[in-house]
Amino acid sequence: MLRLVVKSTAITSMGYDERNRILEIEYKNGNVYRYKEVPRHVWEELKRSEAIGAYVNANIRDKYDFLE
């Protein structure tokens, strides 16, 4: 999966697999989480967010199952 490098205090990069609806987020501590069944509009909103970490905390972290 191709990931975008982002400016964030908590997140290094993020990517989205539209076919499988997987959102992949690499955190600064090196952990990579693959959130399942994430709709495309959430990915689009995340990319446009001015505060990526805050968006993840409010809209993704506790709302979607993930693989670590």
Give pLDDT tens digits for 11-28: 999 999 999 999 999 999
Per-residue model confidence (pLDDT) at position 8: 95
Residue 33 is encoded by which pair of tokens? 């989480």
Per-residue model confidence (pLDDT) at position 3: 97
Domain count, the chain: 1
Global pTM value: 0.94
Per-residue model confidence (pLDDT) at position 1: 87
The alpha carbon torsion through 41, 48, 5, 7 (nearest 10 deg) reads -140
Q: Give 3-31 as a 3 state SS string.
A: EEECCCCCEEEEEEECCCCEEEEEECCCC
Per-residue model confidence (pLDDT) at position 6: 97
Per-residue model confidence (pLDDT) at position 68: 86
Domain that includes residue 50, residue range: 3-67
